Amino acid sequence: LTYFSLKYFKRPRALTPSRQSAQALIAFGLKNQAGTLVGQVQGQYAKFLLSSLSPLSLSAYVVAQGLVQKMAGGITQVATALYPASARGGKTEGLVRMYHALQLGLFGLGLFGVVIYHFIGFPFLTWWLKSSELVAVVDTIMQIFVWYFAILVLSPLASSILDGRGRPELTSLIAFITTAIEITLALLLFPHYGLMAPVYAALIAITLMTPVLLYLAEKVLLSANPPDIIAKPTLQHSVLRLE
């Protein structure tokens, strides 16, 4: 990379970034990465919590978590595609309409996923996992996680809007509060619900905080103020992370 850079770009444009710009860029990056760090904790804590249970329970949770993560993976690509428009700044009716249409479509897709799983979820798990014990546990978890998925699909686009408008601290704050609520609930519910404690906690936390995220994204989107700092978001700190 260095060789081709020197060969084909021998005289890059000379720029001397101002101290103010450098500080703003560093602040943006730190705020953005704070949400990423929170997302990593949120995605992994349940595995440590459930490690005290049977290997079957932990395996079932990991399988169910992976299924939701794969189903939601394509949504981040839609959010990435929306990012350039959101990062231009200013209030544009076209962007607002597109954002609303995409969110409505994604929520409909999430509800469609709930219906589809109701009809073919168990047969698919039986065909895929080949273990009646594991299938039964995974299906129990997925009965809750499909509703979690239906709400989760609303997070990436809203996070992209906030990041694109130079407000990554809002995304990170929502991620932090969501994670705090989820972990607290999981610890409180674990003695009574065991394996299902982090599952219920995840659904409750995302149900509580997604409306807040959507409200903030809507407020920032409708603002005519351009973003102060523009940097492409990683989308690794949506309301809820599944890894």
What is the DSSP code string of 65-84? HHHHHHHHHHHHHHHHHHHH
SS3 label, residue 11: coil
Region at 53 (left for phi over 0; alpha for psi -120 to 50; beta for the rest): beta
Cα(198)–Cα(171) distance, rounded to whole angstroms? 22
pLDDT of residue 234: 42
Q: 193-219: string of b/e by CB count within 10 Å (b at 16+)?
A: eebbbbbbbbbbbbeebbebbbebbbe
d(CA 37, CA 179): 11
Lowest-confidence segment of 1-10, 37-46, 116-125, 180-189 by average pLDDT: 1-10
Category of 92 on φ-ψ map: left (φ > 0), alpha (ψ -120 to 50) or beta = beta
Write the pLDDT tens digit of every residue in 215-242.
999 998 887 555 544 444 443 444 444 4
Q: Which residue, chain included where needed, has tokens 């690509």?
A: 77
Tell me the whole-structure pTM to 2 decimals. Answer: 0.78
Could you tell me the two tokens for 130?
């080949």
Whether the Cβ atoms of residue 137 and residue 56 lie closer than 8 Å to each other: yes
Radius of gyration of the chain (CA): 20
How would you class 118 by CB atoms within 10 Å of its CB: exposed for 0-12, middle for 13-18, buried for 19 or more?
exposed
Q: What is the pLDDT of residue 236?
A: 43
pLDDT in tens, 96-110: 888 899 999 999 999
Sign of CA pseudo-dihedral 102, 108, 110, 112: negative
- Half-sphere exposure in the Cβ direction for 106 (13 Å, CA): 24
**Residue whose pair of structure tokens reads 């959101």 in the numeric block:** 86
Mean pLDDT score of the chain:
81
- The stretch 38-60 carries a mean pLDDT of 86
